[in-house]
Amino acid sequence: MQLNIIVVLNKHERTGTELPLHSDTSPTFGDKSPSFLVQQPGDDVDLFCEASGAPEPEVTWFKDGVPLVQSDKVTLYKDRILVRAVEASDGGVYECRFKNDFGQISHLIRLLVQELGLVMNSNKINVSFVCILK
């Protein structure tokens, strides 16, 4: 955004300048992942948080309070992370934290990696149900 300033010196002379206007603001959230996610082992999980502010906020991602680092398993992007082939140990509390000179915000995402139980029965049993309506 620009601010135009014009000074009238007399009816024949004018001078002017343009000044940039800076609107400094603390970070505010845009779209973000739900606060609770349940995934199956082997799934890829994409967690995201978007925020804006001026100056542009810096983001730091955490898992269980520890800063995340780029690895073969975890890819860090500015406003999202990708966790590949999740397993039970990938479950926990993920946090995206945005900070600039005017404030800080964070969003927590609880990830549960839930294995489906497998029921096996080696004995073949026939089961029948009778429903009586009155």
Residue 18 within any structural domain of the chain: no
Rounded CA separation 129/8 (Å): 94
Q: What is the CATH number of the domain that holds 86?
A: 2.60.40.10
pLDDT at 117: 63
Instruction: Kindly state the tokens that stand for 6.
Output: 């014009």
CA 95, 58, 25, 96: dihedral to nearest 10 degrees? Answer: -10
Alpha-carbon distances of 59 from 4, 50, 131, rounded to whole Å: 34, 9, 58
Give the model confidence (pLDDT) of 13-70 as tens digits.
Answer: 777 666 565 678 999 999 999 999 999 999 999 999 999 999 999 999 999 999 999 9
Any domain includes 83 = yes
How far, in Å, are 11, 74, 81, 88 from residue 63 at the CA level?
Answer: 67, 11, 11, 14
Q: Which domain does 71 fall in, by range?
A: 24-113
Q: What is the pTM of this model?
A: 0.70
In a domain, 99, yes or no: yes
Phi, psi of 9, rounded to the nearest 5 degrees:
-80, -45
pLDDT > 60? residue 119: no
CA 8 to chain centre: 51
**Total number of domains constituting the chain:** 1
